[in-house]
Amino acid sequence: MIGKVISGSVNKGVKAVLSNEENIELYPVGSLIAIKGVTKTYLGLITDAGIDSESNLVNKLTNLSISNELREVIVKNLGSLIKRQWIEIALIAQKEGDSVSKASTMPSFNSDLINVDDGVINLFFSRPDRRVKWPLGIPKAVGKALSPVPIDVSKLVELSFGIYGKSGTGKTFLGNLIASYITMYNIIEKPEKRIKLLIFDMHSEYALELKDNLGRPIADGVGKIFKDHFKAYTPDEELARSRGIEFLKIDYSELTTDDLRLIANIFGVSQTFLIQLDNFSKVLREDVRLRDLWVWGLLIDELSEKELMRSAEGRRILDEVLSRSGFSSVKILQARIEERIKSAYGPSALTTYRSQRVKLKRLLKYPYTYGGSTFENIVNELLDPEGPSIIISLGKFEKEMPLYMVIANIVARRLRSKVMEFVERGEDIPVKVLIFLEEAHNFLGKDTYYLSPFGDIARELRKRGVTLCVIDQKPSELDPNVITMIWTNFIFTLTDERDIEKSLIGAPQPHLLKKIVPTLDRQEVLVYGEGVNFPVTVKVINYMDMVKELKEYLQNLLEKRKKLEELYEESGLL
Q: What is the pTM of this model?
A: 0.92
Confidence at residue 33, expressed as pLDDT on a 0 to 100 scale:
98
d(CA 211, CA 571): 48
Q: Are 200 and 438 in contact (CB under 8 A)?
A: yes
Q: Are 506 and 489 in contact (CB under 8 A)?
A: yes
Q: Which of 192, 191, 173 is nearest to 183 (CA)?
A: 191
d(CA 232, CA 247): 9
Confidence at residue 59, expressed as pLDDT on a 0 to 100 scale:
53
Q: Are 467 and 500 in contact (CB under 8 A)?
A: no
Query: What single DSSP character describes residue 445?
Result: B
Q: Are 544 and 530 in contact (CB under 8 A)?
A: no
Q: Are 391 and 232 in contact (CB under 8 A)?
A: yes
Confidence at residue 72, expressed as pLDDT on a 0 to 100 scale:
65
What residue type is 298 in one-letter code? L
Angle in degrees, CA 123, 128, 131, rounded to 5: 140
Confidence at residue 574, expressed as pLDDT on a 0 to 100 scale:
61
Confidence at residue 63, expressed as pLDDT on a 0 to 100 scale:
56
Q: Are 489 and 507 in contact (CB under 8 A)?
A: yes
d(CA 539, CA 525): 6
Confidence at residue 281, expressed as pLDDT on a 0 to 100 scale:
98
Mean pLDDT, consecutive 10-residue stretches, the chain (574 aa), reads: 94 96 96 97 98 64 61 59 88 96 97 96 97 98 93 98 96 98 96 98 97 91 96 98 96 94 93 97 97 96 92 95 96 97 97 96 94 89 98 97 96 97 97 98 95 95 96 98 97 98 96 97 97 98 94 88 80 68
395 backbone φψ class: left, alpha, beta (φ>0; ψ -120 to 50): left
Confidence at residue 559, expressed as pLDDT on a 0 to 100 scale:
87
Confidence at residue 418, expressed as pLDDT on a 0 to 100 scale:
97
For the chain, the domains span 3-114, 156-249+369-479, 253-366
Query: What single DSSP character describes residue 496?
Result: S
Confidence at residue 247, expressed as pLDDT on a 0 to 100 scale:
96
Angle in degrees, CA 251, 256, 260, rounded to 5: 95
Angle in degrees, CA 344, 345, 349, rounded to 5: 140
d(CA 129, CA 132): 7
Helix, strand or coil, per DSSP, at residue 529: strand
Which CATH fold would you assign to the domain 156-249+369-479? Rossmann fold (3.40.50)
HEC string for 374-397 = HHHHHHHHHHCCCCCEEEEECHHH
